[in-house]
Amino acid sequence: MAAPAKFADISKAAKDLFSKNYNFGDTKLEVKTASTTGTEFTATLNKVSKTGAIAGNLETKWKYAPQNITITEKWNTQNQISLEVTSEDKIAKGLKVGFEAGISPSSGNKSAKVSTAIKQERFHITADLDVLAGPVVNTSAVFTHKGFLVGYDAAYNVNASALTKSNLAAGYAAKDFTVVSVLDGARVATSLFHTVNPAVLAAVQFSWNRNTNETTVELGGQYSVDKNTFFKGKVDGRGNLGLSFTQSLRPGVKATLSAQIDGNNLNTDAHKLGFHLLLEA
């Protein structure tokens, strides 16, 4: 039996169905390559159609297999630089330790974080220390038993001696569906993800804010024509319709076209188009 996901990922299947392959208002080029030594490079360029602004990111990932060490370096056009070093399953089975540091030379902002995580068959526990902000201790734990899961996520500011975040989660995972509810302050969010069959995925997510009494709901799905082609669609309670089409043109070349239609303003220019081209070598 696989270890449960960490707290931040317990609703990942549903979240991915609603977020991945949608690039409304953007034109994105992503290039992934790997050297003969195993070093991986990922470069992305993203143009926002409305403003014309272009943002770029470069990620380099190097793995040292004998020590299970992964070094990841990131840079973007906002001149933000970060370096992350992680080691997994070396000190103990299921234990991951890491250190991440970042700097923005233009603004002078700095960050430093030490992280640990341990996952076993029935639990997944994480603990992070954000050294420069606060410092702040972030912890989370997820426990599972016969498909049922419970989780807790918290953040504690050491200098302020205050609990700044306290979230609870509960759910159930079966072979073909997962349902999870999360209590995040005044907001209660529930998601249901269902594998209808190998070609069809469906999900619903809704939330309620007990302070404002605001309720949101969203339905989404994916249909795979074959291993190279799939369609996605989603609609929310505000009348927004999202559609996307992904096609593998050839090995290493994948294109995604997406559109968002504002159902409340059909005769205006509120609608958005997006395009994403992925090149892998």
- Count Cβ atoms below 10 Å from residue 10 Cβ, excluding itself: 26
| Domain contains 174 | yes
Contacts of 157 (CB under 8 A, 6+ apart): 134, 135, 136, 163, 164
| Domain contains 35 | yes
pLDDT at 108: 83
| Domain contains 62 | yes
Residue type for 159, please?
N
Q: Predicted confidence band at 1 (pLDDT cuts at 50, 70, 90)?
A: low
Q: Is the peptide bond before 135 cis (omega within 30 degrees of 0)?
A: yes
pLDDT (tens digit per residue) in 157-200: 998 889 999 999 999 999 999 999 999 888 999 999 999 999 99
pTM for the predicted model, two decimal places: 0.88
Q: In CATH, what number is assigned to the domain containing residue 272?
A: 2.40.160.10
| Domain contains 71 | yes
| Domain contains 21 | yes
pLDDT at 52: 84
**Which helix (H) or strand (E) covers residue 13, if one does?**
helix 12-19
Mean local confidence (pLDDT), 258-264: 90
User: Which 3 state secondary structure label does DSSP give 15?
Assistant: helix
- Nearest by Cα to 83 from 64, 98, 67, 105: 98
If you average pLDDT over every residue of the chain, what do you get? 93
pLDDT (tens digit per residue) in 222-257: 999 999 999 999 999 888 999 999 999 999 999 999
Looking at per-residue pLDDT, the higher value among 147 and 3 belongs to 147
| Domain contains 163 | yes
| Domain contains 234 | yes
26-34 and 272-280 beta bridge pairing: parallel
| Domain contains 1 | no
For residue 226, what are the domain limits? 7-280
Pairwise CA distance, residues 241 & 234, whole Å: 6
**What's the domain count of the chain?**
1
Burial of 231 (0-12, 13-18, 19+ CB in 10 A): middle
